[in-house]
């Protein structure tokens, strides 16, 4: 019925236009000069109309797209003006728990208060002496007020500040606390991502700082003679040797380049020597006869050194670039580190052997590794990690919703499913066996990265994900620095995270 009515209306319009044209034609016949002038008017009108449309379109484009970039610049004077007119909004966890708020005393002095102190330090960030974390990512939103219009008018008249919008993050308070505790007294980072959306559920980096006292302690973090790295968010900005977690990339490259990978056989005696350069399995262990899955599950350095030497280097590089090396990461987060991997035809055999097992010159960020695990869990599709879910006014009405954004296929579905099998084998039969559980199914790769000549200190890694029977998933990257050799640190930390995550729901 609706369609019919609109057709009728259109017909009526057409009739009116035809009538008008008829009249016009009649009048032109009588006054030819006026016709010429009308044409000039029409041209001028069209020119102005076009200009007007262009300007309106640009204005809309600027307001929608450019203004956020323009205004969300900490050196921009307009932000200072906004800060003078607005009480900075709250930052909230995914359940509405307050993570940061501005307290105003009777003298109208404003103090930014962070109830959880160090626990959310790097995720929520700070907003004095520059900005970091969610305070930086959502700065513009926190300084904009979408309070009830009459309240804002009343505030303008009375000379009072408006209440800035609140920013609701994707962060989960209890999971964040669990990750914070799991990292313990070690330096390092943990990041948890929901694979189907890219939501960052938890992000911890140590050493950290108390955001409540950061202004008072600023000099101790930034002075020239300070060796503190407390302001560095290792989860997004830290670069580490990936250790054996890099075997995920070496494995996929080998599978791409060898159609006969199922025939792979290696007999590990604990040492592999090529042209005088020797590689050793962890703790000198001899893994014996292995197929490809055993070599991955055992994290056999000897087998993977040999695999590295068999790879076509340009194909290996190309695959790593496809998997986010040597480029900015697709994420809504600001200031993220670029992971590095590059070999060339001229690289020495020893460097190729080291690279294949995650040593050498390769460096990765925990965020990058969590994104790869997330895409494997999500059948190859990478969802861009983000931490701002939505903004709302002081009455709780949603102002802006940030929806999940797909970065497309990081790898094919078939590749993701193959890696799932190998990463599952690490848990069922390999170095990640502590993650066997009745409540969830875990997948991943362990790693121990040597980072200095000090043989007694390594970085301990775990990269992977877990899911339960209901399809709930969580991807993680855990790196713990300077742990004593021989022990497993990142795997037990991951276990507490998975146990908590699947017990909590």
Q: Give the binding site for Zn ion (CB under 5 A).
A: 268, 281, 287, 300, 302
Per the CB < 8 A criterion, the answer to whether 334 and 137 are in contact is yes
Q: Looking at 352-456, which runs of residues are DSSP E strands?
A: 381-383, 388-392, 398-401, 406-409, 441-450
Per the CB < 8 A criterion, the answer to whether 256 and 378 are in contact is no
Instruction: Name the minimum Å distance from CB 71 to Zn ion.
Output: 56
What does DSSP assign to residue 479? Answer: E
* Residue indicated by tokens 């993680």: 476
Nearer to Zn ion, 307 or 410 (CB): 307
Instruction: Name the minimum Å distance from CB 298 to Zn ion.
Output: 6
Instruction: Name the minimum Å distance from CB 357 to Zn ion.
Output: 10
Residues near 100 by beta carbon (within 8 Å), at least 6 away in sequence: 90, 91, 112, 113, 114, 124, 134, 135, 211
DSSP codes of every residue in 1-18: -HHHHHHHHHHHHHHHHH
Nearer to Zn ion, 280 or 340 (CB): 280
Nearer to Zn ion, 287 or 390 (CB): 287
Nearer to Zn ion, 187 or 294 (CB): 294
Instruction: Name the minimum Å distance from CB 244 to Zn ion.
Output: 11
Nearer to Zn ion, 248 or 281 (CB): 281
Distance from C-alpha of 505 to C-alpha of 495, rounded to nearest angstrom: 16
* Cis amide leading into 207 (omega within 30): yes
Per the CB < 8 A criterion, the answer to whether 86 and 147 are in contact is no
Q: How many CB atoms lie within 10 A of CB 477?
A: 31
Per the CB < 8 A criterion, the answer to whether 257 and 208 are in contact is no
Instruction: Name the minimum Å distance from CB 351 to Zn ion.
Output: 20
Nearer to Zn ion, 380 or 432 (CB): 432
Nearer to Zn ion, 302 or 423 (CB): 302
Q: What element of type H or E holds 478?
A: strand 473-484
Instruction: Name the minimum Å distance from CB 287 to Zn ion.
Output: 4
Distance from C-alpha of 478 to C-alpha of 192, rounded to nearest angstrom: 9
Query: Tokens standing for 233?
Result: 């968010």
Distance from C-alpha of 251 to C-alpha of 320, rounded to nearest angstrom: 11
Nearer to Zn ion, 140 or 266 (CB): 266
Q: How many CB atoms lie within 10 A of CB 340?
A: 14
Instruction: Name the minimum Å distance from CB 269 to Zn ion.
Output: 8
Q: Comparing C-alpha atoms, which of 166, 242, 210 is closest to residue 445?
A: 242
Nearer to Zn ion, 291 or 420 (CB): 291
φ/ψ of residue 457, rounded to 5: -130, 130
Instruction: Name the minimum Å distance from CB 302 to Zn ion.
Output: 4
What does DSSP assign to residue 62? Answer: I
Distance from C-alpha of 353 to C-alpha of 422, rounded to nearest angstrom: 21
Nearer to Zn ion, 163 or 245 (CB): 245
Query: Tokens standing for 473?
Result: 């998933």
What does DSSP assign to residue 74? Answer: T
Cα dist from 438 to 53, 424, 435, 464, 491, whole Å: 62, 14, 10, 18, 17
φ/ψ of residue 140, rounded to 5: -60, -45
Instruction: Name the minimum Å distance from CB 285 to Zn ion.
Output: 6
Instruction: Name the minimum Å distance from CB 278 to Zn ion.
Output: 13
Instruction: Name the minimum Å distance from CB 271 to Zn ion.
Output: 9
Instruction: Name the minimum Å distance from CB 267 to Zn ion.
Output: 9
Q: How many CB atoms lie within 10 A of CB 334?
A: 13
What does DSSP assign to residue 244? Answer: G
Instruction: Name the minimum Å distance from CB 281 to Zn ion.
Output: 3
Q: Comparing C-alpha atoms, which of 377, 403, 406, 341 is closest to residue 477?
A: 377
Nearer to Zn ion, 175 or 357 (CB): 357
Nearer to Zn ion, 160 or 285 (CB): 285
Nearer to Zn ion, 202 or 251 (CB): 251
């Amino acid at each position: 019925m609706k369609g019919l009515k609109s057709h009728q209306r259109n017909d009526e319009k057409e009739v009116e236009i035809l009538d008008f044209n008829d009249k016009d034609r009649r009048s032109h016949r009588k006054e030819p000069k006026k016709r010429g002038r009308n044409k000039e008017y029409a041209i001028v009108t069209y020119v102005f109309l076009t200009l007007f449309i262009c300007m309106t379109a640009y204005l809309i484009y600027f307001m929608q797209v450019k203004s956020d970039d323009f205004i969300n610049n900490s050196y921009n004077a307009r932000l200072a003006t906004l800060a003078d007119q607005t009480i900075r909004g709250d930052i909230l966890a995914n359940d509405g728990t307050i993570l940061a708020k501005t307290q105003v005393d009777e003298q109208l002095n404003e103090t930014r208060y962070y109830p959880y102190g160090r626990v959310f330090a790097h995720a929520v960030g700070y907003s004095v002496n520059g900005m970091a974390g969610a305070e930086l990512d959502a700065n513009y939103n926190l300084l904009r007020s979408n309070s009830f219009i009459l309240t804002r008018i009343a505030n303008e008249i009375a000379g009072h500040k408006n209440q800035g919008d609140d920013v609701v993050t994707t962060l989960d308070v209890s999971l964040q606390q669990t990750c914070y505790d799991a990292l313990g007294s070690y330096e390092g980072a943990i990041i948890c991502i929901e694979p189907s959306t890219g939501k960052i559920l938890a992000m911890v980096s140590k050493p950290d700082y108390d955001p409540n006292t950061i202004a008072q302690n600023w000099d101790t973090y930034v002075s020239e003679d300070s060796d503190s790295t407390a302001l560095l968010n290792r989860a997004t900005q830290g670069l580490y040797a990936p250790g054996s977690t890099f075997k995920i990339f070496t494995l996929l490259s080998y599978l791409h380049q060898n159609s006969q990978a199922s025939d792979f056989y290696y007999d590990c005696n604990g040492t592999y020597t090529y042209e005088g350069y020797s590689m050793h399995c962890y703790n000198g262990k001899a893994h014996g006869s292995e197929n490809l899955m055993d070599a991955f599950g055992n994290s056999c350095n000897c087998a993977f050194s040999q695999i590295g030497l068999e790879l076509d280097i340009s194909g290996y590089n190309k695959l790593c670039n496809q998997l986010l090396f040597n480029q900015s990461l697709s994420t809504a987060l600001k200031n993220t580190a670029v992971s590095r991997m590059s070999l060339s035809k001229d690289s020495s055999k020893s460097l190729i052997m080291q690279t294949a097992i995650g040593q050498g010159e390769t460096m990765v960020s925990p965020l990058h590794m969590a994104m790869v695990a997330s895409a494997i869990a999500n059948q190859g599709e990478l969802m861009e990690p983000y931490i701002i879910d939505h903004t709302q006014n002081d009455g709780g009405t949603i102002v802006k919703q940030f929806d999940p954004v797909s970065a497309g296929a990081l790898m094919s579905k078939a590749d993701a499913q193959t890696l799932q099998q190998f990463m599952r084998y690490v848990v069922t039969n390999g170095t990640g066996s502590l993650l066997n559980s009745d409540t969830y199914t875990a997948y991943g790769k362990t790693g121990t990265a040597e980072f200095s000549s000090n043989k007694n200190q390594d970085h301990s890694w775990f990269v992977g994900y877990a899911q339960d029977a209901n399809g709930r998933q969580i991807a993680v990257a855990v790196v713990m620095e300077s742990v004593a050799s021989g022990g497993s640190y990142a795997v037990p930390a991951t276990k507490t995270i998975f146990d908590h995550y699947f017990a909590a729901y």
